[in-house]
Amino acid sequence: MQFKQEILENGLTITVEVNPSAASMALGFFVRTGSRDESPELPISGVSHFLEHMMFKGTDRRSPFDINREFDEMGAAYNAFTSEENTVYYGAVLPEFQERVLDLLSDMMRPALRAEDFETEKQVILEEIALYEDRPQFRLYEKLMAEHFGEHPLSHSVLGTSESIRALKRDDMLDYFNHRYSPGNVTLVAAGNLDWDALVGQARQTCGHWKEYSVTRDTLETTGTGRTGAIVDAKLLRQNVGMISPAPGAQDDRRYAADVLAAIVGDVVGSRLFYALIEPAIAEEASCTYESLDGTGIFITFISADPDRADRAVEIVHDEYEKFITEGPTDQEMEAARNKIASSATLKGELPMGRLTAVGFDWVYRRECKPLAEHIEQIFAVTSKNVLELAKQFNLNATTTLALGPK
Amino acid sequence: MTEEFYTREFDNGMTLVAQRMVQVSSAAMTFAVPAGSSHDPPDGAGAASSATCWLLRGAGDRDTRGINDALDSLGCQHHEAAQSEHLLVSSAQLGRNLPAVLEIYADIIRRPALADETFGPCRDLVAQALDGLEDEPMRNCHVLMREKFYPHPLGRNPLGTKQSLSEMKPDTMRLHLKGHLSPRGTIMAVAGKFDWKELSKTVEKQFGDWAGRSPEQVQETPAQRGVTHLKKETAQVQITLAWPAATINDEHYYAARIVQMILSGGMGARLFTEVREKRGLVYAIVARYHSLKGHAGMFVYAGTTPQRAQETLDVTVGELRRLAEGVQEDELARARTQLKSALIMQGESTLARADALAGDWYHLGRLRSLEEISSAIDAITVEDVMKYITAYPADDLTTLTIGPDELVLSRK
C-alpha cells in the first residue's frame, strides 16, 4: 500500500493509494461542492445535484449515449452522488481500463450542458423528487436537516423542490459550474491496482488546461436550532421521528470519539437504543449515527414506531441520552464499539471502491493521506473519558426533533 | 488466478464450502438453513421472520445481552434474514476471530433459549415491519410481485400477515423450529482468511454431532400471475413486470443473464436508454434476474408520476417485446464484459464470495470457478441469445402496479 500525490499548476490535486495486490481499481473526481454552496439569492436550489446528472449528458467529443456505452464497454461499476457538500463521480474497472476510464471521466468533467438535454434531464430530476416523496424516512431527513440548520447553508435541500427545478435556467447552472468546478476545488482520487506515472501524465494532458476560479465556502460551526416540530401525513401507518444534536466537525480530532459514541448509543444491534427500544419492541427501528461535516457535525437519531408508541419512544431516547451524559460508557461497551468500527472499516478497506471514498474524503476535508491502519489505531486510542467528555461538551440531549407520520 | 476451494460434507447432512482468499484479513460466513419462509406452517406465515429475531434472544449460557456482547467484541458484522428457501445467518469479521464466532453461532442455531417472554416482542417487530412496508410502495411492490409470480408458498411475503402473526404462539413456534433447524441440507459457506484444517476441525467440533431430520418437500400450488392494480395515492406509480426465466441449473442460464444485461446491465442498456435517457420518463428503471431452485424470473421495475405512467408502461413493454426482433453483436459484447468484470470485482469481497459459494452449492451442488463462468459467458453467441428469447419470450407478462389509476397493458 503506497500513497502518491501531485498538485498540477492549475490547482488540481491528484491523490492515490496504490495496492498492487488488488484485482481492480477505482477512480473518481471529488468536487468540493453541494447544496450548502448554492446561493440563496439565486433561485438555484438543487443545482448541484441536477448538474451531477448533466455531467453524464455529453461533452464536445461525446454524446450522452457515448458516455454510457463507453462505461458499459469497460464493464465499469460507475455512478455519481451529490450531498450537502460533495459531488463525486466514480468508476471501478479492471486495471487494463485505467487509461480509458480516466479519459472518459476527465472529459465528462468539462460538459457540453446542451439545452435540449437540460430539458429532458429536468424531467428525470422531477421524477427523482417524486420517488423520494414515497419514502417517508428520506422526506423526514431533508425536512429535519432544514429544521436543525435553520439559516445555516447546511439546511439546503440536495434535491431542491419541483418548483426550484422547473424554474432553474441552464445559464445559472453554467455559471455555478464555472465557479464550483474550478480545478482547485476538485481532487482526482484513485485506489487499487494502478499505474501512478501513467495516471499523472495522462491527467496533466486531460485536466491541466482547466481554468481556475477562486472558490470559497462558508464553514461556520453551529449547534442547530433545537426546535421541535411535526409533519402530519394521514396516509402513513408508521410514525417516523428524527432527532439531530450537534457533533464535532470533519476537521476535529474528537471525531473518533464521536464514532465510538454513536456506536454505543445507537448501533442497530447491541446499543443503548437497541435495549431500550428494539428489544422490547417499543420501536421497530432506532439508531444513532455520527455524520462529520465541513466545520461542524451531527448525531442523527431515527425512530420508526407505531403512532401510539412514538411519544414514549422519544421520551425513552431522551432518558437514555441523559443517562449517558451523566454516566458515560462501560468498559464492555467501549471494547465492543471499537471492535465493531475497526472490523467494518477493515471490510470496507478490502475493496478499491471502499478505499476510494476514504482516501478521497481524507484529502478533501483534512488534506491528509492516512493509511487505514492509522485510522484504526486512533479508534482504539479513544478512551471512555473522551466519549463522556464529548457527550457533555456537545450535549447529546440538545436535539432538534421532527416527526413525520399520521399523528 | 485460480481459487482455493474446499468442501466437506458431514454425515449429518450439513456441508461446509469455503474459499481461501490470500489478499484479505477478513472472513465472511453465510449459513443457509433450509427453514425459509416457504417452510412456515400453513397458518403460521411469518414464522421464519420471527425466528431471525427470536434465535438471537439468548442462546447457550448467554442471554440476549451476552450474545450481542460476545459477537460485538469479536467485531462481528452480522445479519439475519428470512428468504423463501432459507433462513440466512451471515457474519463478517477478521479471519482470526472466525473460530470464536462459529462457537457462538453453534449456540444460536443449536441451543437457542426461545423463551416465552422474548417471543412477543419479536413477533411485534415483524408486525411493525409489515406496516413499514405499506408506507414504502417501491419496496412493497417487489414483495407483492414475488407473491403473484412464484407458486405459493414460495413467493409469499416472509413477514406474513397481521392475522398469522397475531395467532402465532411460542409453543407452536418452538415445535416448528425444532423440526426445521436441521443440518440436513444446511450449507455453511466461508470466504476469506482462514486455515482450512483449523476451520474444518472447528466446524466439526461445533456442528458435527448436530442431528435433525430432512426438511419436508414444500407443497406448491400454481402461481396466480395475471394483471393486478392496487389503488393508492402515491407520488409515483410503481410498475413491476415479470416473466419466466431459466433457472441457475438450466443450460440456458448464462443466456438469461446476458438478456438481463442487454435490458439493464448499465446506463447504456436498452431500458435505461429508451425510457430514461431519450424520454426522461423515469428516474429508476431496472431489470433483475432472480432464481429459486425450480423457478426463476426476470423482474422489471419502473417508477413514474401518474400522468406519464401509461407511456412508461407502453415504452417499457415495447422494449421487452423488441427483444424478439434481435440483438446486436456489440450489445452482446458489452453484456459479456460487464458480467465478467462484475464477477472479478465481487471476487474481492469476502461477503459477496461467501454468498456466491452458498448459492452455487445450493443450486448446482458444486462450486464454479471464475474460469468456468468466464468461458461459459464467452461462449454465448447471438444465436444462443435468440434461442433463449424464443424459449422464454416476454409476452405473457405478470403485471403489478400501485398508484392512483389503473394502466392498460397492451396486447401483443
Residues 40-69 of A with CB under 8 A from B: 56, 64-65, 67-69
Which residue among B72, B236, B279 places its CB closest to the CB of A130? B236
Give the pLDDT of residue B1: 56
Q: Which residues of B touch A128 (CB under 8 A)?
A: 283
pLDDT band at A42 (very low <50, low <70, confident <90, very high): confident
Spell out the domains of chain A, with CATH numbers in brackets: 2-207 (3.30.830.10), 228-405 (3.30.830.10)
Contacts of B163 (CB under 8 A, 6+ apart): none
Question: Region A209-216: what's the mean pLDDT?
Answer: 92
Cα–Cα distance, B230 to B404 (Å, whole number)? 8
Residue A52 among the catalytic residues: yes
For A406, the grid coordinates are 399520521
C-alpha angle with apex A180: A178 to A186, nearest 5 degrees?
110
Asked if B162 has any chain A CB less than 8 Å from its own CB, the reply is no
Q: Is the pLDDT score of A218 beyond 90? A: no
Complex-level ipTM? 0.95
Q: Does A332 touch chain B (CB under 8 A)?
A: yes
B236 touches chain A (CB under 8 A): yes
Specify the pLDDT at position B410: 83
Distances (CA, A) of A60 to A91, A109, A204: 21, 11, 19
Q: Is B69 on the interface with A (CB under 8 A)?
A: yes
Chain A CB within 8 Å of residue B378 CB: no
Write the pLDDT tens digit of every residue in A86-139: 999 999 999 999 999 999 999 999 999 999 999 999 999 999 999 999 999 999
Which residue, among B23, B89, B94, B277, would best test binding to A if mutated, counting the most A CBs under 10 Å from its CB? Answer: B277
Q: Which of B77, B125, B342 sits opposite A284 (nearest CB)?
A: B125
In this predicted structure, what is the pLDDT of residue A1?
85
Closest-CA residue in chain A for B22? Answer: A21
On average, the pLDDT of chain A sits at 97
- Extract the C-alpha cell encoding B14: 450439513
- Model confidence, pTM: 0.96
Residue B60 CA to residue A338 CA, distance in Å, equals 25
The answer to whether the B4-207 and B227-403 domains have the same CATH topology is: yes
**Checking DSSP bridges between strand A186-192 and strand A239-247, what pairing results, if any?**
unpaired
Query: Are B280 and A120 an interchain contact pair (Cβ–Cβ within 8 Å)?
Result: yes
Task: Write down the catalytic residue from A17, A38, A52, A147.
Answer: A52
Residue type, A72: D
Give percent helix, percent strand, percent coil of chain A, each to the nearest 5.
50, 20, 35
State how far the alpha carbon of A93 is from the alpha carbons of A191, A372, B348, in Å.
Answer: 11, 22, 12
* Cβ within 8 Å, pair A131-B75: no
Asked whether the beta carbons of residue A72 and residue B345 sit closer than 8 angstroms, the reply is: no
Q: Is A278's Cβ below 8 Å from some Cβ in B? A: yes
Substitution target from B3, B348, B351, B377 for chain A, most A beta carbons within 10 A: B348
When pLDDT is averaged across residues A233-242 and rounded to a whole number, the result is: 98
8 Å CB contact of A69 and B334: yes
Q: What is the pLDDT of residues A279-297, one digit of tens each?
A: 999 999 999 999 999 999 9
Domain B4-207: give its CATH superfamily.
Metalloenzyme, LuxS/M16 peptidase-like (3.30.830.10)
A270, A149, A287, A166: which is closest to A218 by C-alpha?
A149
Q: How many CB atoms lie within 10 A of CB B400?
A: 24
Kindly list the domain boundaries of chain B, sorted by start residue: 4-207, 227-403
Q: Is A326 on the interface with B (CB under 8 A)?
A: no
- With 80 as the cut, is the pLDDT of residue A261 above it? yes
pLDDT for residue B215: 83
Residue B74 near chain A (CB below 8 Å)? yes
Q: Which residue of A has its CA nearest to B278?
A: A120
A273 touches chain B (CB under 8 A): no
Is the backbone of residue B284 left (phi > 0), alpha (psi -120 to 50) or beta? Answer: beta
Q: How far apart are CA B239 and CA B233, in angstroms?
A: 14
Q: What distance, in Å, lies between the first and last C-alpha atoms of chain B?
A: 48
Contacts of A93 in chain B (CB under 8 A): 341
Interface contact A23-B277, CB threshold 8 A: no
Q: Please report where in the chains the cell 476535529 appears, as a residue.
A: A252
Q: Is residue A352 predicted with pLDDT exceeding 60?
A: yes
- Strand, coil or helix: what is B266? coil
Q: What is the DSSP string of B98-148?
A: HHHHHHHHHHHHHSB---HHHHHHHHHHHHHHHHHHHT-HHHHHHHHHHHH
Per-residue pLDDT of chain B (412 residues; tens, 9 = 90+): 579 999 999 999 999 999 999 999 999 999 999 999 999 998 999 999 999 999 999 999 999 999 999 999 999 999 999 999 999 999 999 999 999 999 999 999 999 999 999 999 999 999 999 999 999 999 999 999 999 999 999 999 999 999 999 999 999 999 999 999 999 999 999 999 999 999 999 999 999 999 999 888 899 999 999 999 999 999 999 999 999 999 999 999 999 999 999 999 999 999 999 999 999 999 999 999 999 999 999 999 999 999 999 999 999 999 999 999 999 999 999 999 999 999 999 999 999 999 999 999 999 999 999 999 999 999 999 999 999 999 999 999 999 999 999 999 987 6
In CATH, B227-403 is 3.30.830.10: yes
